[in-house]
A and B are shown apart, each in its own frame.
Chain A
Amino acid sequence: MAAPALVHNPVGAPGTLPSANLLVSGAHVLDPRARLDALCDVLVRGGAIAQIAPAGELSPDGQTELVQGAGRHLLPAFVDPHVHFRTPGQEHKEDLETGTRAAAAGGFGAVIAMPNTDPVLDSAPLLRSLREAAAREARVPVGFLPAITRGLEGVELTEMAELMGEGALGFTDDGRPVASAGVLRKALQYQRLCGGVLTLHEEDPSLSHGGSMYEGAVSAALGIGGIPSVSESTMVARDAELAGYEGGRVHFQHLSCTASVQAVAAAKDRGFRVSAEVTPHHLLLCDEHVRGLDTRMKMNPPLAGEADRIALIEGLRSGAIDCLATDHAPHAPHEKEVPFEQAPMGTTGLETAFAALYTELVLPGVLELGLVVKRMTAGAALFGLPTPTIAVGEPANLTLVDLGAEWVAGENGWESRSENCCFAGRRLSGRVLMTVAAGGIAYRERAFSVVAA
């Protein structure tokens, strides 16, 4: 029998998070999938949603903590299908405990970790030990995507069937592309045996070679090697075609440019089993933000042009892009405090994702809050996980946010071990006050007072 996909420090285990008994009173409860968009009382008992009633109808008993929801929004907890927790091997950047703490602080109730660790997550014993570590340390449930190829070298397939039996959600060589079409085709064929989503970082190394940022007017002015958008989009088109040919299931990570969105939309029109994600930084920033050569703005794929940014927003709205993912990629200060071309790629994102999207897209009226909530939870179903839903009988996966609260990103430090956040210093609206993940309270904002009844 296959192992369960997600693991964390289980609710109710000795010395761990207890199952929550909560009454969130009078919050604006918003869950588009559950068709909830009203002021409600939500009662959580034993970690599950026990009752939903119009605001003011429920009152807590002696075992139930009363959480004042008035003026706040209660949302289904978000799911991030793309994070880097750096364990094993690079715990100076992040580990399962700090990473999941950052996730919980950002309102995420579940996350999926990438395998580009040291050593690479490419064998069943390593997956088993990581899942055991997650069971001890993780604040919110974590799933794992082991590598498609051994050592991420793009040559030999990992033992995918054994890895699936050990609880893998799918496979990815994230951080690198599967450069060889032949190798990816074999993985797609093998998927018929073992299942699991093939999750693809798309980049043609022969086009991106020598590049540190998006190729365009800004890279030309800075004299920095450019990565052309076709480095990504030609690979998206190639791999969509391969997936269609083999009838395989692929997920495209962190789309960054117009042509990639078009390639995914075209593949969906042809009935291919493809899905795609986009990050908050690609939705909100563009290559102009790289002009100051702030290494927090260096990521892969690079921040693209303003027209690409608009196309990504449209893709998210239309559904060509299925879900949001942060690509939370922590790096230590000394690794980022170097000249731009030498710096490693990546930005943290778990703690700012919702507030950044709310501030920059929802408040100005570009996207509706309900759509953002939907896309921030959609990653679960793509990987066969239950979608957090606010409905009676569901496990409590909840995020309580104060949309009116303003804060400066990073002003009080970070839950993550690293601070390389591209939104640091921005004034944001929307603060996560509390996160309930898999029935337990995973995060409380420090200043958020709760009143036990």
Chain B
Amino acid sequence: MNHLLSIEDLDRAGIERIVEQAARFAEVSDREIKKVPALRGRMVLNLFYEASTRTRSSFELAAKRLSADVVNFVSSGSSVEKGESLKDTVLTLSAHKPDVIVIRTPWAGAAELVSGWTSAAIVNAGDGKHEHPTQALLDVYTLQRRVGSLDGASIWIVGDVAHSRVARSNVLAFQRMGAKVTVAGPPTLIPRGIEALGCDVRFTLEELPSADVVYALRMQHERMSEALVPSLREYAACFQVNARRLSPRQLLMHPGPVNRGVELSGEVVDSPQALITSQVEAGVVVRMAVLYEMLSGSRAFRPVPEPQLA
């Protein structure tokens, strides 16, 4: 069984294949009847242990456009609140024989763990601060639609890298597509050792003008209570992407939801340089492509390697 647990499950050809498939589905989305029968009779189970609006709804919409049956499971109000373990929940839901389980949890590696407990294909829709591979795929798709090839492009990922699964998946995906990636943010929010992923690290935005694409990350309010930055005001003063810092030739991306006035100023969000709404649109077609590739038995996904003991 093939899974999408990490961007590392995909090589460049695999990413390109999904992006091309997504482009074909985009044409369907422009039709009056938006549904295709590709996955009729298949079941997609959304298993969400964290609040999510756009990811869950776009997976649901993607599955429905492919005519699959969708079951949504959210942890609140479920047996999870009665103390059921992740394993037992997965075993219980697997008894309904879903073809795909789309899973989001606050724990790194949970999607991979779950893949060992069920015969369903697993799509990681976010595992803790580890990875969010479908976000990276839709970002690659969005960017390619706008600029063509990413080869040689300079992409800066700015903000709270430490707590961002989007950052980790995107560093890997952008690099795989030939881009040069720099991560930048306050030193308290850049994890020690991140350069091992192959990216450059900067602690100021002085060199931001060299970027072709600026990818801002959401700055979460709870980072204040952990005293990781002195104040949102100071964070904005040092790292906010605004009209002063963003030149007209640069593109702006953000995984959403945006904190206007914190990581982004209002004027850049609304500017034509911003690809933020295109990213949301891409969410559905890229997730359609992922589900389709997974269930139509293509070879886009590399088989998951056996865990190494030694």
Contact = CB atoms under 8 A, between A and B. Distances in A.
Interface of A: 215-226, 228, 289, 291-294, 334, 337-342, 424-426
Contacts of B191: 215, 219-220, 223, 226
Contact of B193 (A215, A339, A342, A424): A215
B309 A341 contact: no
B195 to A, nearest CB: 8
A221 B307 CA distance: 17
B108 A425 contact: no
A28 to B, nearest CB: 29
A216 B191 CA distance: 8
Nearest to B308: A292
A217 B127 CA distance: 18
Given A223-B128, A223-B168, A425-B309, A340 B194 contact: no
A223 B307 contact: no
B113 A293 contact: yes
Given A222-B130, A223-B131, A425-B309, A340 B108 contact: yes
19 contacts: A215-B191, A216-B193, A217-B195, A219-B193, A220-B194, A222-B130, A223-B164, A226-B193, A228-B192, A292-B307, A294-B309, A334-B85, A334-B87, A337-B85, A338-B85, A338-B113, A339-B110, A339-B128, A340-B108
Given A221-B168, A293-B112, A294-B307, A338 B87 contact: yes
Contacts of A221: 168, 193-194, 196-197
B192 A220 contact: yes
Contact of A223 (B105, B108, B192, B195): B108
Contacts of B107: 339-342
Contacts of A334: 85, 87
Given A217-B195, A220-B191, A341-B128, 19 more contacts: A215-B192, A216-B192, A216-B193, A220-B192, A220-B193, A220-B196, A221-B194, A222-B109, A223-B128, A223-B131, A226-B193, A289-B310, A293-B108, A293-B109, A293-B112, A294-B309, A341-B107, A425-B309, A426-B309
B224 interface: no
A302 B148 CA distance: 44
Contact of B108 (A216, A217, A339): A339
A223 B6 CA distance: 12
A426 B168 contact: no
Q: Top 10 closest A-B pairs, CB basis?
A: A339-B107, A217-B196, A223-B129, A293-B109, A217-B193, A220-B193, A223-B130, A220-B191, A339-B110, A220-B194
B64 interface: no
Q: Which of A337, A341, A425 has the most C-beta atoms of chain B within 10 angstroms of its own C-beta? A: A341
Interface in B183-198: 191-197
Contacts of A223: 108, 128-131, 164-165, 168, 191
B86 interface: yes
Contacts of A337: 85, 87, 113
Contacts of A342: 107
Nearest to A427: B310
B309 A224 contact: no
Nearest to B191: A220
Q: Is the interface of A mostly helix, strand, loop or mixed?
A: loop
Contacts of B109: 222, 293, 339-340
A218 B193 CA distance: 8
Contacts, number: 85
Contacts of B307: 292, 294
Q: Which of B86, B192, B195 has the most CB of A within 10 A?
A: B192
A426 to B, nearest CB: 6
Interface string B171-207: 0000000000000000000011111110000000000
Give the interface centre of A293, A337, A338, A342 by most chain B CB atoms within 10 Å: A293
Nearest to A296: B309
Nearest to A342: B107
B9 to A, nearest CB: 14
A341 B194 CA distance: 19
A259 B300 CA distance: 46
A424 to B, nearest CB: 8
Nearest to A425: B309
A222 B129 CA distance: 8
Contacts of B110: 339
B6 to A, nearest CB: 10
B160 to A, nearest CB: 12
A217 B86 CA distance: 28
A224 B130 contact: yes
Contacts of A340: 107-109
Contacts of A219: 191, 193
Contacts of A338: 85-87, 113
Contacts of A293: 108-109, 112-113
Contacts of A220: 191-194, 196-197
A222 B108 contact: yes
Nearest to B196: A217
A294 B307 CA distance: 8
A339 B105 CA distance: 9
Interface string B268-308: 00000000000000000000000000000000000000011
Nearest to A305: B193
Contacts of A228: 192
Given A293-B108, A339-B109, A224 B129 contact: yes
A338 B87 CA distance: 7
Nearest to B164: A223
Interface in B133-191: 164-165, 168, 191
B296 to A, nearest CB: 29
